[in-house]
Amino acid sequence: MAKKWVMSFSFFCSGFFCAGQEERIDTDRPDQTESAGIVPKKYFQAEIGFNKENTFFINYNLVYPTALLKYGFNRFELRLESVFISTYEHRIPEPKWTTGLLPVEIGFKALITEEKKIVPKTSLIVHLGIPVLASSSFKIDHPAPSFRFTMQKTVSPLLGIGINVGAAWDGIQSTPLWLYTLSPGFNVGKKWYMYAEIFGFILKDEAPQHNIDGGIGYYLTNDVKLDVSGGFGISRTSPRNYFALGISFRVNTKKK
């Protein structure tokens, strides 16, 4: 059902309000490696995804949806991210469902430097999770900041490599969760994109989480992109696996 909705919505975008551009849409999804690219000036961009994550035993999470909204300026974009989630916990005699909105995050991405010779294109992303903008089941005690440096290096017209490093606080503990990602991406013809990725999270005094994933993107137009992805954990503390579908589109808000 979700896939049918995604396809219908994407054709609506391409046919009615997504004007073609020379540059293809640059998105942060579906991988964990955020792009170093900035949304073009005076463009609105939305990246929407649906996924299922199998955690431990037969427990799982459903995300429907996650939405990242952006608006572009010169070398800068404003960002708002929201996640609506249901968690299933197997209990006897009754399983437990918890559903609601995770703390909404607001923030920005700023371009630090363009790609030059051996220097990768680099940007800084800063977000802040807002305690009052969350369902009661997912309330946090304090604002939850996060940051990450995003780096992209072009190896050839067909191959690029993305790297992220950063940290996030959960609004409850004072100890940060450190993160890393490494993702080679491959352009396949004019319409297709593929990637593989390793990423992980490191928290003091706890075993680290390491994961592998991969996915495929298809450009309906230069302004509309569909994606499918999946991955699995390779350390004992990681979630078992996940599967995701998504759509991204952008709209030129410039006055004609």
Q: Where are the domains of the chain?
A: 2-252
Share of the chain above pLDDT 90, in %: 88
* Mean pLDDT taken over the chain: 92
Q: pLDDT grade, residue 5 (50/70/90)? A: very low
pLDDT score for 2: 38
pLDDT score for 226: 98
C-alpha closest to that of 36 among 144, 133, 137, 115: 115
Distance of CA 147 to the CA centre of its chain: 14
The answer to whether the Cα torsion of 107, 159, 185, 7 is positive or negative is positive
**pLDDT per residue over 44-102, tens digit each?**
999 999 999 999 999 999 999 999 999 999 999 999 999 999 999 999 899 999 999 99
**pLDDT per residue over 109-122, tens digit each?**
999 999 999 999 99
Q: pLDDT grade, residue 225 (50/70/90)? A: very high
Q: What is the mean pLDDT of the segment spanning 236-240?
A: 94
At residue 14, does pLDDT exceed 90? no
Full-model pTM = 0.89
At residue 134, does pLDDT exceed 70? yes
pLDDT score for 227: 98
pLDDT score for 154: 96
CATH class of 2-252: mainly beta
Cβ–Cβ under 8 Å, residues 152 and 164: no
Q: pLDDT grade, residue 256 (50/70/90)? A: low
- Exposure on the CB side of residue 167, measured as CA atoms within 13 A: 9
Q: What is the mean pLDDT of the segment spanning 145-169?
A: 97
Q: What is the mean pLDDT of the segment spanning 193-199?
A: 98
pLDDT score for 72: 98
Q: pLDDT grade, residue 22 (50/70/90)? A: low
Strand partners, 145: 128
- Exposure on the CB side of residue 115, measured as CA atoms within 13 A: 14
pLDDT score for 17: 38
Q: What is the mean pLDDT of the segment spanning 227-240?
A: 96
Q: What is the mean pLDDT of the segment spanning 129-149?
A: 97
